[in-house]
């Protein structure tokens, strides 16, 4: 009968280690604990569970420590847990059944994140593997078994199991994250790993994703994601499909390109992802955002709906949970609003705005949907209440300026849009709106100066065409439907304001 070894690496885990070992003790044949320098009672607790404790001098390399646990273990199968995790008894029994199948190389195990302040998500992680030559952990940080396991599985025609039951994890709770202050250490490890493997798409992706959320390092993160994407494109098609993170690379890179206003480049990246990578919720979300940016509201609504549908099961990438449960419904509400289905948009967005009262996108779309449903006072009330809490949120000032302009309160709209610009809102949005306000006010020179700064924006292009028309030198050549519709809207505003002859 195959033997199962529990392999762990630990340091100063006296608060959680006993709970972890208690959960797994009944289903494993031995426990191997690699200790990287504990100063507390960790070693004594491990030994109380008859674990073999292996001292390991920390060398800024999680894979090296994991591999030390593999080398010390004697089992035919290896199960990997962290001290802040517990294994369910059902998962242990499932794993034992998998071990009996000689065609199975390893198992994906669902890991549920919990704890105060943690995301309520379930992620499929590759945590159990048959001992086999050539299967080792890689990477100093965000260490992985899958690269080797995938290669061996292809060569020997083996397969992977996916357990139904799994692991509980509380290591991402606010208290634990605050106590470990991991960010500076992680950057150091990423930089060291990148020096070792400068063209590895996985580490380029993880490092890029690590840097991307911080405005100070966002551009550096985007450059790394571009390198990860280029590395993916160089791989054989079979490897592109099997990499669980490949779709995430394309989604994140495309979203960054959309923030830069390059919808065409984002569309190309997404087409590669949809053709060559595993489908993921984040990939569908990014496509929805790209279609929203180009005015294809029906296509965007379908993509966001498809993204939301992926949220029912376990995720390959944990961040996808927020995408499916919050970001995609918000995007879908925006698309519904663009399709003229304001009541549906409001029904979808209002609960989200209540659940996430600090999320500016939810609040903005709730206000716009409320306005479209005929409640202008309620819409402005949503924004003014939010701005009382978040007075430096430029996007909310910009959204309010849009509503005030539609209410023909041009002076107040002008004040709000200039506040939005001062707070760093995207120039294309603020300039386009201020240009239209000046156009209605009769300041054609001021409007033209603002419109000319953003030749790729539909509103600005429409404004320039309308100004040419007012001068008597307009043309219809090469005007696409979206810009023509925007020009007609602006022309209607001019007629209603009586400013078309100014």
Q: Give the contacts of 282 (CB within 8 A, at least 6 positions apart).
A: 247, 248, 251, 252, 307, 317, 319, 320, 323
Domains of the chain, each with CATH number or no CATH: 4-177 (3.90.550.10), 197-313 (1.25.40), 340-421 (1.25.40.10), 426-502 (no CATH)
> What are the structure tokens assigned to 75, written together?
């089992």
d(C-alpha 434, C-alpha 93), whole Å = 65
Inter-residue contact 23 to 87 (CB < 8 Å):
yes
**Rounded Cα distance, 162 and 140, in Å:** 26
Position 502 scores a pLDDT of: 42
Q: What is the pLDDT of residues 43-98, one digit of tens each?
A: 999 999 999 999 999 999 999 999 999 999 999 999 999 999 999 999 999 999 99
Give CA 70 to chain center in angstroms. 32
- In the numeric block, the tokens 């809102």 are attached to 425
Between CA 17 and CA 10 the distance in angstroms is 8
Residues 496 and 442 sit within 8 Å (Cβ to Cβ):
no
Answer yes or no: are the C-beta atoms of 173 and 118 closer than 8 Å: yes
pLDDT, position 427: 81
Measure the CA angle with vertex 308, ends 304 and 312; round to 5°.
165
What tokens does 59 get?
A: 């060398």
CA-closest candidate to residue 38, choices 73, 67, 2, 65? 65
21-44: buried (b, 16+ CB within 10 Å) or exposed (e) per residue?
A: bebbeebbebbbbbbbebeeebbe
Please give the structure tokens belonging to residue 224: 């790394």
Distance CA 379, CA 346 (A): 11
Flag residues of the chain having pLDDT under 50: 174-180, 500-502
């Amino acid at each position: 009968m195959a033997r199962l070894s529990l392999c762990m690496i630990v340091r100063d885990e006296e608060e959680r280690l006993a709970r972890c070992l208690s959960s797994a003790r009944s289903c494993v044949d031995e426990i191997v604990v690699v200790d990287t320098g504990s100063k507390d009672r960790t070693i004594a607790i491990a030994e109380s569970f008859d674990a073999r404790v292996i001292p390991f001098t920390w060398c800024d390399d999680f894979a090296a420590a994991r591999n030390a646990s593999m080398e010390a273990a004697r089992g035919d199968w290896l199960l990997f847990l962290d001290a802040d995790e517990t294994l369910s008894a059902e998962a242990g029994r499932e794993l034992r059944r998998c071990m009996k199948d000689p065609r199975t190389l390893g198992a994906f195990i669902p890991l549920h994140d919990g704890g105060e302040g943690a995301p309520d998500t379930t992620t499929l992680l590759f945590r159990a593997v048959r001992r086999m030559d050539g299967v080792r952990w890689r990477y100093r940080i965000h260490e992985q078994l899958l690269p080797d396991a995938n290669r061996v599985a292809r060569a020997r025609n083996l397969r992977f199991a996916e357990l139904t039951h799994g692991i509980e994890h509380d290591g991402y709770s606010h208290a634990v994250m605050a106590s470990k202050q991991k960010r500076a250490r992680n950057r150091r490890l990423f930089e060291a790993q990148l020096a070792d493997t400068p063209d590895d798409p996985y580490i380029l992706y993880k490092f890029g994703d690590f840097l991307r959320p911080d405005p100070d390092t966002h551009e550096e993160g985007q450059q790394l994601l571009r390198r990860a994407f280029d590395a993916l494109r160089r791989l054989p098609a079979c490897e592109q499909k099997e990499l669980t993170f490949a779709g995430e690379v394309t989604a994140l890179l495309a979203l960054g390109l959309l923030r830069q206003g390059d919808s065409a480049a984002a569309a190309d990246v997404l087409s590669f992802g949809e053709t060559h990578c595993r489908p993921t919720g984040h990939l569908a979300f990014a496509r929805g955002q790209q279609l929203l940016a180009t005015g294809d509201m029906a296509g965007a609504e379908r993509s966001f709906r498809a993204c939301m549908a992926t949220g029912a099961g376990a995720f390959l990438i944990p961040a996808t949970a927020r995408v499916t449960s919050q970001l995609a419904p918000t995007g879908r509400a925006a698309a519904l609003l663009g399709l003229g289905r304001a009541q549906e948009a409001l029904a979808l967005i209002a609960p989200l705005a209540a659940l996430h009262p600090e999320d500016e996108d939810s609040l903005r779309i709730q206000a716009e949907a409320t306005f479209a449903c005929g409640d202008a006072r309620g819409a402005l009330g949503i924004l003014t209440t939010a701005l009382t809490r978040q007075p430096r949120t430029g996007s909310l000032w910009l959204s309010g300026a849009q509503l005030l302009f539609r209410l023909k309160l041009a002076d107040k709209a002008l004040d709000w849009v200039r506040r939005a610009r001062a707070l760093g809102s995207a120039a294309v949005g603020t300039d386009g709106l201020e240009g239209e306000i000046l156009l209605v006010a009769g300041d054609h020179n001021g409007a033209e100066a603002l419109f000319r700064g953003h030749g790729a924006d539909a509103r600005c292009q429409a404004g320039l065409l309308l100004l040419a028309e007012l001068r008597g030198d307009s043309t219809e050549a090469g005007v696409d439907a979206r810009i023509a519709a925007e020009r007609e809207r602006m022309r209607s505003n001019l007629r209603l304001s009586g400013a078309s002859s100014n």
